[in-house]
Amino acid sequence: MTIPEPAGPDLAGVHAAWLPPEAFRAIGSRHTLVFGEGGLVGTVHDEVARACARYGGRVRRAEAGPYDLVLALTAGEPLPEAAAEVRPAEAVGDEGYVIARRDGVTVVLADGPAGLLYGLFHVVRLGERAFAGERRAEHHRPATRRRMLDHWDNVDVHPVMGQVERGYAGGSIFWRDGAPRGDLARVRAYARLLAACGVNAISVNNVNVHATEARLLTDRLGDVAAIADVLRPYGIRVHLSVSFASPVAVGGLPTADPLDEDVRKWWTGVTGRVYETIPDFGGYVVKADSEGQPGPFAYGRDHADGANLLAEALAPYDGVVHWRAFVYNHRQDWRDRSTDRARAAYDHFAPLDGRFRDNVILQVKHGPIDFQPREPVSPVIAAMPATRLAVELQVTQEYTGQQRHVCYLAPMWREVLGFRPWGPGGAAVADVIGGGDLVGVSNVGDDPYWTGHPLAQANLYAFGRLAWEPRLDPAAVLDEWIDLTFAPVANGDVERSRHTLHAVMDDSWRTYERYTAPLGVGFMVRPGHHYGPDVDGYEYTPWGTYHFADRDGVGVDRTRATGTGFTGQYPPPWSEVYESLAGCPDELLLFFHHVPYGHVLRSGSTVIQHIYDTHFAGAEQVIEARRRWEEAAGLFDPSLHARVKDLLDEQVRCAQEWRDQVNAYFFRKSGVPDAHGRRIP
């Protein structure tokens, strides 16, 4: 029995997150057969073995039973009896598995080693429940092909953005001050956490590719290979963000024109060398012609030309290119009300549908602007039937409290994934990307709690779980996370811990929405760092993010009738629903319409009163969350409790600042007093 060091759960000084040793108690105290061959089967075996070493159980690879748990590949011969009985009629795929229990034996069967690993973590989630009673065979397979985290980590510390762009959890776990950290134990522990929630791909550097990072593709490829070696045992493939200008920047060519023959040869050669070094390399991530990054426009080419260039180089190796659709004019004249940043991705990409190679994945942010707490779903998702799509979510809380505020994002993601672009009878977003990719921007750093705010771990966990199964209920995912993270170590009263966490987290995204920019209008944050309120901060800037508040009203007219016409990018019924002042959902009203302060919402409130009410309520809810957390002091590890308490103090302060600035701003503009006579400063 070998226990690989130091991938175990006891990384010194680092919180175990959702894999504390106690989560393996049920398995570790039983008899398990791990049956089959392959690298990841070894990982499954080692996980069980480590648990058994701690809790007195036993694990074997071949010996006759009896066993409490059988983890077996379907291809194994002869399949152990218990497993043979639940063998599925059809294949469950590379990553799928079947779980069943009969006659006192719990069985996990998988077609491939990765499936066995995911099945193991399913048993971990079940804990003692995995070994109780009977369980009819359940088939599990992931809804998406790739469940991917994009790390916006820089190798060099960026003078403005730091080691991790939009990172709120310390430094990078991969890089420090221009070099690899070397601490691969931390990366290994990360890989294990990700496998446990279903993530199977990581890109290891920022989509804004600077000079040093560009060299990861060439002379610093070894740094990437070292990471790939550590991720591989957990079924995670490594991807790399590359600069479209690489042929010039690191190749010394005079051009990066995608139709230039030397450029094509360069990418072919470079990519070949990548696969010689990392045979299971995942592919490239590209931010092109966006916010100053180079792209095909410089050569009079379009994004299909650009993406296909890289896709062609990757195709022989089954690699993919994630080509981001986040392309817009970031030098807009704020005086020009006809330009609409919300339109940009659709205007750029919809006409290219059908022109992308099969291994191009167009990576679309979930909303049309940029990760605001409330946006409509991007119309691009419904506009490109002949293109493979990935939806990009932001796990790192750039616009949702920066891991100083509790903001459990699964409810928002669930809404996005469940949105039906063609109306109630049509497919959901989750179906559109079914078999495709869900991508999240990572919220992880070298912080002892991984995510800065300890409760932000739940967002990382939920991202993986929703990527695997988009129909999961966010509260149920939270329970999974609580059961793994807190229940085994709860000081006594598990159910009180659970109630506290649900009270603090379940509604935290809507609470955040309440005290920040109202009714979907977005972007009232301080420019640059994006933390805290500044109602007019982006109002007269080139960034295309405006609310147009004046003394009479507020909101962006994106209708076809009188506005920018953005509503026309949606198929019916949404093209009509959003166009209609009466039909538009309240929470998106100011995203689609400019209305007077006295406009009556579907809720019955006026816009101005809604602003006051939600901002008073949101700030109150944070105070209540803090009260609940304080009450639960004895239920949590003291240092974790103290950190969350400190962060809740900051959240209370900041929420009140949001409340007062937004209310004061709109009171000064509208002159309408609060109907309840509350003080607006």
Applying CB under 8 A, the residues found at the interface with a copy of itself are 334-335, 528, 533-537, 540, 549-552, 657, 660-661, 664-665, 667-671, 681
CB atoms within 10 A of CB 237: 20
Q: Smaller CB distance to a copy of itself: residue 294 or 533?
A: 533
| CA dist., res. 679 & res. 681, Å (int) | 6
Integer CA distances (angstroms), 320 to 87, 282, 304, in order: 33, 7, 14
CB atoms within 10 A of CB 177: 11
Integer CA distances (angstroms), 388 to 151, 223, 253, 360, in order: 22, 30, 31, 7
| CA dist., res. 638 & res. 643, Å (int) | 9
Place of tokens 């990066």: 256
Q: Smaller CB distance to a copy of itself: residue 70 or 535?
A: 535
Q: Smaller CB distance to a copy of itself: residue 87 or 529?
A: 529
Beta-strand runs (E) in 25-182: 31-35, 58-60, 69-73, 97-102, 105-110, 135-140, 146-150, 153-158, 162-164, 175-176, 179-180
Beta-strand runs (E) in 537-665: 553-554, 595-596
Helix (H, G, I), strand (E, B) or coil at 410: helix
**One-letter identity of residue 401:** G
Q: Active-site positions?
A: 291, 370, 398
Helix (H, G, I), strand (E, B) or coil at 99: strand
Q: How far is the CB of 117 from a copy of itself (least distance, A)?
A: 45
Q: How far is the CB of 663 from a copy of itself (least distance, A)?
A: 11
Q: How far is the CB of 551 from a copy of itself (least distance, A)?
A: 4
Q: How far is the CB of 527 from a copy of itself (least distance, A)?
A: 8
Q: Smaller CB distance to a copy of itself: residue 471 or 668?
A: 668
| CA dist., res. 575 & res. 545, Å (int) | 22
Q: How far is the CB of 297 from a copy of itself (least distance, A)?
A: 24
Q: How far is the CB of 170 from a copy of itself (least distance, A)?
A: 18
CB atoms within 10 A of CB 1: 11
Q: How far is the CB of 665 from a copy of itself (least distance, A)?
A: 8
| Closest to 70 measured CA to CA, from 97, 40, 39 | 97
According to DSSP, the residues that pair with 101 across neighbouring strands are 106, 135
Q: Smaller CB distance to a copy of itself: residue 260 or 534?
A: 534
Q: Smaller CB distance to a copy of itself: residue 170 or 533?
A: 533
Q: Smaller CB distance to a copy of itself: residue 581 or 664?
A: 664
350 burial type by CB count under 10 A (0-12 exposed, 13-18 middle, 19+ buried): middle
179: DSSP letter:
E
Q: Smaller CB distance to a copy of itself: residue 560 or 669?
A: 669
| CA dist., res. 405 & res. 618, Å (int) | 12
Query: In the sheet that 105-110 helps form, which strands lie side by side, from edge to edge?
Result: 58-60, 31-35, 69-73, 105-110, 97-102, 135-140
Q: How far is the CB of 472 from a copy of itself (least distance, A)?
A: 40
